[in-house]
């Protein structure tokens, strides 16, 4: 069966630094990629106490590899692999919430996996929900306050958005993993006599209604469509669904990959959450930039990456990312994202609590500043400033 996926007191003693080893010489004199905090200029020393070697190897920048890191920067990374997985009859879910990644004030995320036919129970939220399919196919169904409804099948790369209060559910068609945001389930502890009176049916109709929140449960794949509706279906600009890969990517500067924007400018219903779906070629760079209107929450779907966040007052910290990691860059924090693989694309999703995606490019700012002023500030040749491209490069090859 195929599966689908949707789409945070010590004492010290002095230890003599070891002499450079063959391993260190093979790595340009440092040993960060070997899991040791030893720089080529002799700083640091071998870890002799307890450590998680695998994590050290995955995170060389946590060992001090990036020499420009400085000051105090809070943790901006959380892996879904560190989240508690909730096992359910119809699949599983694992979440990243503010207690996992306190720096993420605006967005909480979840990975959900549904078996074929499994249903994410009927529910609604106090906040907007945004989701993306990164494996498999599902049917999404929603109804708003005016009775506008939609039930449609979506697949890889497709996005749904449900405004606050919109009632909805999803059912897997071929076995699903996906990425999504606390629900009010239909199976609230409402007295059965009240349910019977509300729907005009015998109380016995509800003899088997679940007493607790089932969350994700098994069911046969639905085959019947809604009939006899007197309210319209959601279509066009009113649709709850955006089929990302059926649209052309954004026309951007740079040839380093593809950049899909999903916000209220092309997905009108999505007024509280904006997003991008990005693919960056091996060795490519998401140019230095920052976001003036919202925190940037990221989910890395494929590949390996490095990013440095500059939060002001000279404070900067570099992080290493792998598939399944989430991250957040604070509003107006400068950063870049680099694909550190030589042969694999880097694929990630950005989400913002905003109606539109916005960023300020460092290169474009310098290019549109009087050349002598920019050159004198950075202590670089004025000719360098004059040759910077005037348009954003976004994804650099």
Query: Concatenated DSSP letters for 229-241?
Result: -SSPBP-GGG-SE
> What pLDDT was estimated at residue 14?
36
Average pLDDT taken over every residue of the chain: 90
Residues 6 or more apart whose Cβ sits within 8 Å of residue 190: none
Residues contacting 191, CB < 8 A, separation 6+: none
- Of 272, 287, 338, 350, the active-site residue reads 350
Provide the greatest CA pair distance for the chain.
Answer: 83
Closest CA to 201 of 210, 191, 192: 192
| Burial of residue 286, with CB atoms counted within 10 A of its CB: 0-12 exposed, 13-18 middle, 19 or more buried | buried
For the entire predicted model, the pTM comes to 0.88
The structure tokens listed for 141 are 């169904």
- Give 118-137 pLDDT, tens digit per residue: 999 898 898 899 999 999 99
- Is 350 a catalytic site residue? yes
Tell me if residue 259 falls in helix, strand or coil: strand
Q: What are the E-state strand segments in 144-265?
A: 149-154, 158-162, 167-172, 176-179, 216-217, 241-243, 257-262
Instruction: Give me the pLDDT at residue 179, please.
Output: 64
Over the Cα atoms of the chain, what is R_g?
25
Q: State residue 209's pLDDT score.
A: 87
Q: Where are the domains of the chain?
A: 82-243, 257-396
CA separation (Å) from 96 to 58, 83, 99, 291?
Answer: 20, 7, 8, 22
Alpha-carbon gap, residue 356 to 271, rounded angstroms: 8
Would you say the CATH fold of 257-396 matches that of 82-243?
A: yes
Binding residue positions: 123, 125, 129, 168, 289, 291, 296, 335
**DSSP symbol at 374:** H
Ranges of residues in the chain with a pLDDT under 70 are 1-28, 174-188
Strand-pair partners of 354: none
Handedness of CA 241, 247, 252, 254 (dihedral sign): positive
Annotated binding site for Mn(2+): 123, 125, 129, 168, 289, 291, 296, 335
Task: Decide if domain 257-396 falls under CATH 2.60.120.10.
Answer: yes
Class of domain 82-243: mainly beta
Strand, helix or coil for residue 17: coil
């Amino acid at each position: 069966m195929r599966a689908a996926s949707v789409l945070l007191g010590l004492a010290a003693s002095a230890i003599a630094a070891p002499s450079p080893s063959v391993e260190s010489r093979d790595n340009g004199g440092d040993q960060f990629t070997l899991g040791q905090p030893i720089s080529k200029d002799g700083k640091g020393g071998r870890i002799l106490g307890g450590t998680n070697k695998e994590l050290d190897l995955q995170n060389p920048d946590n060992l001090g590899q990036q020499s420009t890191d400085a000051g105090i920067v809070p943790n901006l990374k959380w892996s879904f692999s560190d989240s508690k997985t909730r096992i359910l009859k119809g699949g599983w879910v694992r979440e990243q919430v503010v207690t996992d990644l306190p720096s993420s004030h605006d967005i909480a995320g979840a990975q959900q996996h549904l078996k074929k036919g499994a249903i994410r129970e009927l529910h609604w939220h106090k906040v907007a929900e945004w989701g993306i399919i990164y494996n498999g196919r599902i049917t999404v169904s929603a109804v708003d306050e005016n009775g506008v409804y939609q039930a449609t099948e979506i697949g890889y790369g497709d996005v749904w958005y449900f405004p606050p209060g919109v009632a909805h559910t999803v059912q897997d068609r071929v076995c699903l993993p996906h990425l999504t945001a606390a629900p009010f389930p239909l199976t609230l502890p409402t007295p059965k006599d009240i349910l019977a009176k509300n729907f005009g049916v015998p109380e016995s109709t509800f003899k088997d209604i679940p007493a607790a929140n089932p969350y994700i449960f098994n069911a046969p794949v639905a085959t019947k469509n809604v009939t006899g509706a007197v309210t319209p279906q959601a279509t066009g600009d009113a649709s709850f669904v955006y089929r990302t890969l059926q649209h052309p990517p954004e026309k951007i500067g740079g040839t380093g990959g593809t950049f899909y924007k999903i916000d209220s400018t092309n997905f009108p219903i999505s007024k509280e959450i904006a997003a991008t779906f990005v693919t960056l070629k091996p060795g490519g760079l998401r140019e230095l930039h920052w976001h003036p209107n919202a925190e940037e929450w990221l989910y890395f779907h494929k590949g390996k990456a490095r990013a440095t966040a500059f939060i002001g007052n000279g404070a900067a910290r570099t992080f290493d990312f792998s598939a399944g990691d989430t991250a957040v860059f604070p509003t107006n924090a400068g950063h870049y994202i680099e694909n550190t693989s030589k042969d694999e694309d880097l694929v990630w999703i950005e989400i913002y609590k905003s109606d539109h995606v916005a960023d300020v490019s460092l290169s474009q700012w310098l290019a549109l500043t009087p050349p002598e002023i920019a050159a004198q500030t950075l202590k670089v040749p004025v000719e360098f400033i004059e040759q910077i491209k005037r348009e954003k490069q976004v994804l650099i090859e």
